[in-house]
A and B are shown apart, each in its own frame.
Chain A
Amino acid sequence: MTTVAVLIDHRDGAVTRPSLEALTLARSLGTPVAVWLGESPSADAAAQLGEYGATEVRVVDVADARLAASAAAALGAASDDADVIVVISTFVTKEIVTRLAMTTGAGVVVDAAGAEIVDGKVEALQTVFAATWNVRTRIDADKAIIGVRPNTTQATPADSAGAGTIIDVSVDLPETRERVVSVAPVEQSDGTPLAEAPVVVSGGRGTGGDYTLVSELADLLGGAVGASRDATDEGWISHEHMVGQTGTTVTPALYVACGISGAVHHRGGMQASGTIVAINMDPDAPIFEIADFGVVGSLFDVIPQTIERIKERRGA
């Protein structure tokens, strides 16, 4: 039986939704075990991991795993017996799995939109070239590591829950050359982080720096606020909100681009979204080439009306 280790992402002790998605995917590949780095999870958190299929919750209580080599050693210690390792694809986890693959010989596919076992081997699915191509990659190595993007698997509890038994794993962290001199936490805006949000409403240069309407629409739709590079460069909104090839890649069910032209760098980070809506004054803006619903008009006219109508129909 295939053992699938899932590196759990947790915030303030709570399991994040992408972790539940990853466990759901892991169940389709074999028997999931959860790997938890940091202080032992609460009974509730462990129970939830069990509900999504984790037979074990392997806890590696490392105080500091900010450096890729340290986190890789911790993940490695807890996934020794695993044939497949699933992580949520971020800049940080990409470095962790690369380190782990260097010592284990594992084959790695990151930014995957799904995976399945075909003839005993893991095959991962990706969309590439700004989501214009689908690629299926087989991992030939004995150990397979997959980095999955949030919002690509629907998280569902297991038909029969796993035991979620907590098991402590110890590890000797390697000496690292690198030294973390300082860490300044980024003030997290309320709600779901950009990469995980089911809905993203983004504003670009066309907002002129006023994010009131964009934020209001995002709130109404239960989503997060995104931005273009021009907007973050202007200092209108912080860098963490930037969507695109060098910012955050998002794949929400709904992406609303307001006053964003649709440069290829921006599209690379959002083109795989479910439904794409664009509001732009310029009928020739490239964003319309990929919009399921395009509005040629000013966001200052369109968004208030949309908000009002949604409230009206919800009230009805």
Chain B
Amino acid sequence: MLLPDGTIAAGAKSRMEEEFLLEALRWMMKSRLYDQRVIALQRQGQFGVFSPGTGQEASIIGSAMAVDPSRDWMVPQYRELMATVHHGLPLEVISAQYLGKIAPARIPDGVKVLPTQVSIAAQLPQATGLAWGLRLRGEDSVVIAYVGEGGSSEGDFHEALNLAGVVHAPIVFFLQNNQWAISTSRRVQSATQSFALRAAGYGFEGVEVDGNDVMAVYDAACDAVERARNGGGPSLIEAVTYRMSFHNTTDNPSRYQDPKEFEEARTRDPIERVQKYLAGLGLWDGKRETALTEELREENEHALKHAAGAAAPRPEDVFANVYGDPPPRVLRQRAELVDRSGV
């Protein structure tokens, strides 16, 4: 729809109005700037292991904008940080998680976002259950669940999608195909032509979209959300994008990635094309970019400062939130630790 050169494909018409597109750009830039900042912090030992969303902002933001934070649920993997923030998770809260904080990293009540989790694809059966349960409870909520193309190889992926089809769960499986699972290329991941095709095997709709085109992502996600909300059951969206960075801050892609492929991917940058398009409409220029960048940097900085200043974990937090009523032996272990660390 929105092509890499910032023009609209002939005859295409997105649901995204210009004002909304500016809003999308703001979030995409916020995401990119946040990545850059926390990677720098991580290099100074002031942030945890981090997987950036760089290059995938159109997927991350376009999908998040299609769900309603007041009633829909978001189930992330880990690379969609700014989607969860868009869905109402305060940036300082998710930042506190990367700083190893405990209480300050608790998702506030009322925010319909589940915690990020590391065990690839394990969130998917849970998301299916959540969507199924919401339907059983008579709510008009939809679940959007994220997964990578790597995650689609796990058994949990298959089981979750199959069950979702059977129980007709109101869920959107949003698969970001960023071409890489650490060093494993998409070609090694599956012999399928398209991950979206798999939906047919589960009896529901699958669509492939240009994951670097925020308009196309938004439209596809809106269709899927509407379908789910209206009782049409699950959908699978494959957003074809590119991981324009390392897997995470411990990774070194020079060992496995062809720099030519990477350079080629950069020409399809999801943010630049929106800026070009808006510039064509007279809604964007260098001055506006500088001003917005400055503003977003400050917003991010504010959240990061807040997170850094939040209460540090205490030794006894080792025992926090494991049992509602801890067994006596666990209480004794806790007392032993507290005694010894002189808390």
Asked if chains A and B come from one complex, the reply is: no
List residues of chain B with CB under 8 Å of any chain A CB: none
Binding site for B on A (CB under 8 A): none
